[in-house]
Structures are given as structure tokens and as C-alpha cells.
Amino acid sequence: MKNILKNLTNELDNKNSSKNGSAVQIKGAIDKVEAGVIYGWAAVLGDETPIPVQVIAGEQIIGSGTADIFREDLENAGINNGAHGFEIPLQLQIREINSIQIKLIHGETLQEISHPDFELNAEELRVTADLVRVKDGCLIARLKSRQPVGARELSLYHENKLIFTRKVELSSEIMEVMLPIPASLRDGTPKLFKLAIGDCPDILAMDWFSIHPVATPWQYIRESYREPGFMSRPPQAGSRYEALQYHLDAQAESTEILAPKDLSTVHKVVVEGYEGRKKFPKFNLPKFDAPRVSIIVPAYNKFELTYHCIASIALAYNQVSYEVILADDCSTDDTAQAENIIGNLVVSRNPENLRFLRSCNRATDVARGDYIVFLNNDTEVTSFWLDELVNKLDSDQSIGLTGSKLLNLDGTLQEAGGIVWGNGEPWNVGRGENPYAPEYNYCREVDYLSGAAMCIRKSVWEEVGRFSEELAPCYYEDTDLAFKVRNAGYKTVYVPQSVVVHFEGLSHGRDVNKGLKHYQKVNEGVFRQKWFRDFRNNGRPSTEAVALEKDRNIDQRILVIDYASPMPNKDAGSYAAVQEIKLMLALGFKVTFVPENMAHFGKYTTELQRLGVEVLYAPFYTSVFDVLEKRLQEMSAVYITRYTVAEKYIDFIKQESNAKVIFNNADLHFLRELRAALKNGKNEEMLDNALQTRDKELMVCRQADAVLCYNSTEHAVITSHILESDKLHITPWVLEEKKPGPDFDDREGVAFLGGYNHHPNVEAVEYLAKEIMPRLYKKRPDICLYVYGSNMPESFKDYECDNIKMIGFAEHLDDVYHNHRVFVAPLLSGAGIKGKVLESMAYGLPAVLSEVAAESTGLTSGISTLIAEGPNTWVDAIIKLYDDHVLWKRFSENSKVLVQEKYSFEYGKRAFREIFSSAGIYSSNV
């Protein structure tokens, strides 16, 4: 290696001397690309300072890092002190750039680093893989090849370090492979593992896993829970800590619902666990005069389980009011005196042994809530489990029954809703899988919901006749109830944000040949005979079929691709994206969303999942191409926003599937760039860039099956180029109903709102600050401009003065549109429809606009708005609208009428139905 590196150094010296007449001192090499990481070295000869390195493919930066890793081979070759190696993770999959020359540049000076040529080639393996779970100190990898591959080497990495290799014979059948984890990595902390295969430079799969060094079952060491490191050991420790923090926050805000002493007791009880419990310290449940929810916990003996369950209800933080009803079926242990141990507990005690089903039915007679929750006594609930079940029912009156995500004691998934196959066999969806996997974390309709944790409207409970008596004493009553609820016209919905740990089998055991458990087999026949017509077309039981069969009552499957997850409180484009997804859901489509950056965006991602959107993200998927490889074949259509995203994937989609491509350009980029280039004379460089954008943008338009624009101007421009008017559509914009705002006299100032990553908004504020507001100040110094928006540049602070206030990000749009008298939008360039203007219409806040801002809104100057051009005209228009109460009120009312006619959800739903129908994607939802 030493000779190779010396020869390389000499070769680079000669190569650069011949070019420049002197040796270039920055040198390096690319050794390999493996599992999504590029390895090599870079150094300034004679300078031991580590240098920043950027990896360039074509004109795109695909990775960046610092060359500061010590390598003995570099030191031996005389490359300074040898500390110049780098291992840089790539920011995209190799197949996104296919075969291309790679070069290195200095990260600060941008000087090219001399190195031998290196060409990166994507290997077409067509293998899909997932890291699914930990078992016996091994990671289980699940693989499938779309074509014969033969024996290949499978490689497992921790971060970027190779830890295990194994040869496997890849076939078209799904196979699972065990990959041992070194003892050094079994420390209980989450670690990122990556899977690669053969010479393929991409990561096939990656995920986070924790493997605890102590394998002893918890019940044997529970007495050690106070020892450092043991209280946090159970998988449930995180949710217990969260609950405690929520309660402490509520105490600090004087909104606590649980007394501090009771909080301390229930936290200790839950942490200690139920195993072997003999002592039952007293505690009180919160008391509500009119609880919205009645939680029914059925029990027969085994008070240690019931006590733990009810303590967890008290510990879990929820905002909805509730009561806990213990349905005691003639217990002979401490359950018989539970109300003396647990304060505010409601007890429904049977006069004779009624068993599970009749005991639950009887307990509902004393329920005061509008909702009834059935909760097994062998469970531990988590914060907001109750809120999520109830909120989903509140959000849609057509939903009659909701159910929780159930976890096993070891933290793995027990159930994400249920399937009843065509032969009547019920399956728990996702059993044993990762509970964080995207496939199990969005709300969806299901065949049934486990009675271990489910919520039903009390009115629906009575309407469908409660649990069916023919299934007494127990088993299949929850499945039967779900079928009865649907038969009555309601939906049964799985709600994964409601998380419950179920200690399965502890109530009735697991042996189906003895005790109450044997009724599972008996009632199976009763259920199948009763509901055969309803489940007979549900397909045959199959692990592969679960991926599709777990979604019920959907017409089409739509894959939505955008550059990032929408953040609707940050920018108008995100707001529009969410509304468009809601329209697809309303049409009965199953929507799967993938952000190009593969990032989970916290609450924004979770909110999409609550709506019923399956959101795909890392580490479960490594790139958009990984998604397309694994999921494209199930899609009826792919809805792509922005040409910069679409141009990367549209060829693959067209070649590899029959999915229709619906292309939403957000705004016509080349039109915006042309306007900017021609605004003040002709900027030749900007014009050339605009024309290049035009070619790329129109190429995507030609390939798409439907093209969506937000305004008629863009519609006409695109049509004039591609000459296919039938596939051009105006994208509907949905405006949500707003609460009434203050009267005219109770408002002051004018407002502007924008996201300042978007240049036209920056340009508009500069125009306001430099041209309009100084002139307005001379005539009306009392009228102040308030500037709102995210990502506000530091330079805006320089504009602050007596009549300009830079507010920044608005937590709620009410702050913008309710507090001020006039909205202004002096946009000088841009394209698309302007969300900020439409929001002002929805709020009934009259506006002064430029021609660009008013484009395609439907607003008419003098009737519903004032359109101004030139600083002096702007000043006059602002003063006129600011002072004229009659004109202001007329504009406000006319804007609201326009919103009702053109921007309602129903109008948008009809428009989207027509758009998808034009591409051959039909919906049965009217």
C-alpha cells in the first residue's frame, strides 16, 4: 500500500504540474463506496490540519464531512501524520445518480482536490430488504429478490463499521436471515444498523435497535428496580417517564387532575410491576362529575393485574374526563374489596358468576359516559391513549368503534388492528414486528379491533345490541361487535397513536383445550356461520397478502411524493399539500406519502398519520427509489409535487409500473424565473437559467398523465407549449371556515405574511419597507405595517421603524388576520396561486394587492379588493381601504361569498374526482 500511495502522489504531482506548471498541494483518493458511505482520504501536503471535504456527483453535492481519520497506510506513505482519512455518508441512493464521475472539493475554498478518476455505478440487484426485529442476540433480516441473483454476500454494519458478513442464496421467495450482534453492542442503548449486499454501494435497509446486556426476565429481578439502570430497563420505562412529566407540568400550571401523593403512588406501583405483588397501597383516581368516557375493566380474581392496570390508567396523562368501572365477576381475592383500596373506583359486582361477556354487558348499565371503553385487566396504558380513541370518534361521526395499538411486554408489536380472512380465520396485523414501522402507524379501517382496548359510542353500543349473547361466556365478542357496528353503517378504525401494552394470555391462559380458553374454538364456528357473507371475499391467509388486505374500504392506492413533509403552519404550499391529501382521502383513496428527504418530521408526520395517511420514512425506507422498488406495484397512481422532484423518478415509474402520474407543479418555476429575469431590463444569465428550467419542467408535463396548475395563466402557458389541453387542470384550493373576527373599529394596522425561504416574499417586504411605507408615513404616520412569517432574514430588523414592526413566525393565523384592518401583498414576481391572499379572503380581511398577488384568486378590483401598481398608488389604496368602513365591509362580504362558491371542501372534492377520473383513476365516494 505504501508504494501505491507514493506512486499516486507522484502521479498527481506530474499530472497537475503539466496542467498548471506547479504542483497542486491538495491531494486525495476515493477508495470505495459501500453501504451508502464513501471512503477515501484528502490532505494538504505539508499541512496536518484536517480539511473539510465535499463529494460532488455532476453538479450535486451528495455528501460532506471532514478528512480527519487516522490511517496507518497514509502515515507510512508520508501523507503528513496520516490523520486524513474520511468516511462520508451519502445523502441519497446511488441509483438516483446512476453511473457518474465523482469528484472531491475542499469544503471551504471549493478548490478541487486532485485524485484519480472514480466512477460510481449503481448495481441493479432489484433486491428488497428489511431489518425486522431482534431475537436471541441476532438481528432478523427479511429479503426478497425480484429476479434470480444466486449466492451473494450479506453485510451488516453498525453505523459505518462492518460487524458481520454471511453468504446467502437469494430467491424470489421471502426469506429471513439471522445476523449475530457482537456482545460489545448489547448495552441497551439504541443503535443504528445497516444492511448491504454484494458489491452494491447502496444501503438496502437500516433501523434502530436496542439489545439489553441483562437477559434475565424482569420478574426475577424486579426487586432491583430502585438500582441505577434497572428502573429504565423495561420497554415501558419511556412512556412512564413521559406520563410523570405531563403530570408535573400540569401541577406547575395548576391544572393537575391527580393529587401529588396519588401520582407518586401509582408511578411506584407501575414501575414495580404486577409480578408477585402482595401489598396494595391505597390511591385515588381523579373524580369527574360528568365523565365523557366510562372505562370498563372486567376481572375475575388476579387482583395484582387489575390493580396494576388501574394504576396505569391514573398514571397515564389524558385530557378527557373519565370514570373507571371495575366489572367484578364474583372474585374471591382482593378484587372483592377493590373500592376500599382504589378511591373513586366505580364497581359493578355481579350477584352470580356471569363470565366475561355478560359481565361487560351488565357493567355498561352503570356507565355515565358518552363513550364506553373496554380494557382488559392485563394491560398497561400510556399517556393520551384515551384522548386519541375519543378524538378520532369526535372527528368523524361515521366512525362507531376505535381501537388501540397493542404492544407485547418486550416492546414488539402485538396487534395493529385485525384481519378476518375469506375462510373466517382472524389475524393480528403486524404481530412481532417493529411497532414504529410506518405500515402500522396510520389510522385506517380494519375488520376488527381487539377487545383488550377499544372504544365505542354508547349510542352505537345500544343500537347494535351490545356484545352478542350467543358468544357467551367469551371470545369472538370483539370481532362480532366490529361486524355489527359496520353492519349498522359505521366505521371501525384502528388508532395507533393510542398505545396499550397487553400482557397477553394472563387472564385466561393460552391453552385452547381447557378453561375459558376452549370457548375460543367453540365460538369460532358460531362467528363464521353468522358473518360468512361479509368476510368470504377477504382473500386467503398469507403473510405477503397482509400488506394489502390490512387496509379496508379503499378504492385506489395513491403514492404522494414531495420534497419534504408538509408543515401547514409554516407556509402556504404545505397547507395546500395537506388539503390535497384530505381530498384524496375523502375520495376513498388510501394515501401513502413519502418525503424526498426521508425524514420523520415529528408532530407534522404524526398529524398526517392521524388523518389516515401512511407516511414512509427512514430508517424503514432508505430513499424514494427504495420505496418505489418495494411499493410501486401496489399503486394506482403517483401524485408528485414540484418538477425538481418529478424529473428524478418519472422515468422509473413509467417504465416499471402501470401507475398513472398526476403532476402538481406547485407553481410554474420557469414563469416565475422569467418574470424575475425581465423585471428590471433583461438579465441574460437569469434568462438562460429560466429557459433551462422551462425545458426540464415541460418534459415532466409531457410525461405526466395529468398536470395540475393553481391558476389559469399557468394553465395557458403550459398548454401553449405541450399542446395537450385535456390533461391540464386547475388545482382546487380548499379554505377552512374561520371563526368571526373583531369589528372594523377594533382592528389596527396593515399586515403582510410570508415564508421567507421563498424569494418573492422577501422581495415584497423589501418593496414595502423601501418604497411604500416611507411614503405612507408622510401622509398617515398612524398606520403601522406588521410583518409575519417563518424563516425571517436577519436583515429585516434593519427595516424596523415607527411604522414597521417585524413580528416573525405567527403561532396562529388568527393573530395575522383578526388583529389588523388591511392585508397587503405587493408581490412583484412569482407564480401559482397565493395562499396568503386566499386566507385573507377566508377570514374576510380586505386586501390591497398587486396584479401578481391577485392572479386566479377570483378577486376583482373595486368589487372585492383593490389592485395597486406603483408606490404612490399603493399608498392611496391602503389609506382608502383603511378609512372607508362601508367599502371595507363590502369587500369582506364579497370575499366570503367567493370563498363559499369556489374554495369549499366539497368543490375541491368534485374537482379532484374529475382530475383523477381523467387519468383513469375512479372513486366510488360521491
Beta strand segments in 83-183, E: 83-89, 100-106, 112-120, 127-135, 138-145, 150-158, 161-170, 175-180
- The residue written with cell numbers 426475577 in the block is 220
pLDDT tens per residue across span 914-923: 999 999 999 8
CA 701 to chain centre: 28
pLDDT at position 154: 86
Report in angstroms the alpha-carbon separations of 464 from 19, 408, 417, 480, 738: 86, 31, 21, 11, 37
Range among 3-17, 174-188, 627-641 with highest mean pLDDT value: 627-641
pLDDT at 507 over 60: no
- pLDDT band per the 50, 70, 90 thresholds, residue 3: very low
Beta strand segments in 555-616, E: 557-562, 590-595, 614-615
pLDDT at 862 over 80: yes
Q: Residue 856 region, left (φ>0) first, then alpha (ψ -120 to 50), else beta? A: left
The C-alpha R_g of the chain, in whole angstroms, comes to 32
Greater pLDDT, 27 or 60: 27
Q: How far apart are the first and last CA of the chain?
A: 71
pLDDT at position 505: 64
pLDDT at position 163: 87
- The residue written with cell numbers 411499493 in the block is 631
- The residue written with cell numbers 429560466 in the block is 690
Look up the pTM and report it.
0.80
State the Cα–Cα distance between residues 419 and 538, nearest whole angstrom: 8
pLDDT tens per residue across span 32-52: 888 778 899 999 998 999 999
Beta bridge mates, 326: 297, 347
pLDDT at position 295: 98
pLDDT at 20 over 80: no
pLDDT at 180 over 70: yes
- pLDDT band per the 50, 70, 90 thresholds, residue 94: low
- pLDDT band per the 50, 70, 90 thresholds, residue 840: very high
Which 3 state secondary structure label does DSSP give 189? coil
Q: Phi and psi of 818, rounded to 5°?
A: -100, -25
Report in angstroms the alpha-carbon separations of 333 from 309, 324, 330, 337, 363: 16, 19, 9, 8, 20
pLDDT tens per residue across span 392-429: 999 999 999 999 999 999 888 999 999 999 999 999 99
Beta bridge mates, 147: none
Report in angstroms the alpha-carbon separations of 144 from 125, 129, 156, 171: 11, 7, 17, 6
pLDDT at position 680: 65
Query: What's the mean pLDDT in 429-450?
Result: 94
pLDDT tens per residue across span 579-614: 999 999 999 999 999 999 899 999 999 999 999 999
pLDDT at position 443: 98
pLDDT at 848 over 50: yes
State the Cα–Cα distance between residues 795 and 751, nearest whole angstrom: 19
Query: What's the mean pLDDT in 868-886?
Result: 95
pLDDT at position 807: 94
- pLDDT-above-90 percentage for the chain: 59
pLDDT at position 222: 67
Residues contacting 444, CB < 8 A, separation 6+:
417, 493, 494, 550, 551, 552, 590, 612, 614
- pLDDT band per the 50, 70, 90 thresholds, residue 8: very low
Helices (H) and strands (E) in the chain, counts: 27, 42
pLDDT tens per residue across span 254-272: 898 999 999 999 999 999 9
pLDDT at position 925: 78
Query: What's the mean pLDDT in 154-179?
Result: 84
pLDDT at 874 over 90: yes
Query: What's the mean pLDDT in 778-792?
Result: 94
State the Cα–Cα distance between residues 335 and 485, nearest whole angstrom: 32
Which of the residue ranges 661-670, 742-751, 888-897 would you say has the lowest mean pLDDT?
A: 661-670
- pLDDT band per the 50, 70, 90 thresholds, residue 759: confident
Which of the residue ranges 57-66, 334-343, 398-407 would you say has the lowest mean pLDDT?
A: 57-66
C-alpha cell at 319: 385530557
Query: What's the mean pLDDT in 419-442?
Result: 93
pLDDT at position 217: 67
Q: What's the whole-number average pLDDT of the chain?
A: 88
pLDDT at 508 over 70: no
State the Cα–Cα distance between residues 528 and 521, nearest whole angstrom: 11
